[in-house]
Amino acid sequence: MKLGVDSGNYRVKICSEDGLMDFHSAIGEGRELKLQQVHGEDDMWFEYESEYGFAGSLALYESEFGGSILGDNKAHRDTLLRVLIGINRYCQRYQIEETVFDIVIGQPISSHTIEAKEKLKKMIKGQHTISVNGIEKTFSINKCEVAAEGVSSYWSGNRPEGLIRILDIGSGTVNFSTVLNGKFIDKDSGTLPFGVNTNKSNNLNALCRGIVTHTSKKWNSSDKVFIVGGIAETILPLLKEYFPQAEILYPIFNQQYVSPIYANAIAFHMIAVNIYE
């Protein structure tokens, strides 16, 4: 079974032909709780190898050291846990009995290196047994490839011709990328080391200015800029002050436009369908 997994620092998004799913990315240590209560729809506890932990909204409320590891490199254990928890939960959601998966995951542009990609693939591939909310599943990740975040979202929508700029605004980073007639342009692309959840003042105007301060070194105000990510619809009016032609890239799933939060996951799934037999 082919999956596209966008293991974001704020929310994990998964796509396959069965449907879309997302959940909060937080991971934390687990313990026995005195009272059982619902903290959110993403309450999860998991067991993997010798680790017992909380995830999602439960980790945010009850783990003393819970949260998400931010930054421009996802070659770490939290990414593995996000992927495994995601596959288990996705199978629960869509009642999938499949036990072999070929997946495509993402890595920020600036750390999309051979070394980082190989580390991710080595960590993720293989057989895993993980229990989520008491439901255990054993499965194998047979194939795993690592796509570049942000620029990959170009393949999730209508794929316009000409010079296209893409802003993938995440919780911990902003991927800015350039596509010219369907080709990735490396010299005008990269990753900014800040995002929606690294701004202490929670000031989106300041975040926009920070993005433009960097991208305007190579980009023109008249460029066509597409925005993806969960914050896209909120931040669009602010970015249009700097890039008047900015618009949201709405990905297409099952012949319908869906939320821009799924742009990378849908693109990753499309890549998986095309590269795996």
The whole-chain average pLDDT of the chain stands at: 95
Q: Residue 187 and residue 176: Cα distance in Å, rounded?
A: 11
Judgement on whether residues 11 and 122 belong to the same structural domain of the protein: yes
Instruction: Return the pLDDT at 201.
Output: 72
Tell me if residue 114 falls in helix, strand or coil.
helix
Instruction: Provide the CATH number for the domain around residue 32.
Output: 3.30.420.40
Q: Which residue has the tokens 């990735």?
A: 184
Residue (of 159, 121, 158) closest to 141 by Cα position: 121
**pTM score, two decimals?**
0.96
Q: Can you state the percent helix, strand and coil of the chain, rounding each to 5?
A: 30, 30, 35
pLDDT digits 0-9 by tens, 89-133 = 999 999 999 999 999 999 999 889 999 999 999 999 999 999 999
Instruction: Return the pLDDT at 6.
Output: 97
Judgement on whether residues 80 and 114 belong to the same structural domain of the protein: yes
Once rounded to an integer, what is the mean pLDDT over residues 139-166?
Answer: 95
Joined tokens for residue 214 = 């960097």
Asked if 25 and 68 count as a contact pair (C-beta separation under 8 A), the reply is: yes
pLDDT band at residue 197, thresholds of 50, 70 and 90?
confident
DSSP 202: -
Judgement on whether residues 199 and 85 belong to the same structural domain of the protein: no
Number of domains in the chain: 2
Instruction: Return the pLDDT at 148.
Output: 95
Q: Give the domain range for residue 155.
A: 151-252
pLDDT digits 0-9 by tens, 26-72 = 999 999 998 889 999 999 999 999 999 999 999 999 999 999 888 78
Judgement on whether residues 143 and 271 belong to the same structural domain of the protein: yes
Judgement on whether residues 179 and 208 belong to the same structural domain of the protein: yes
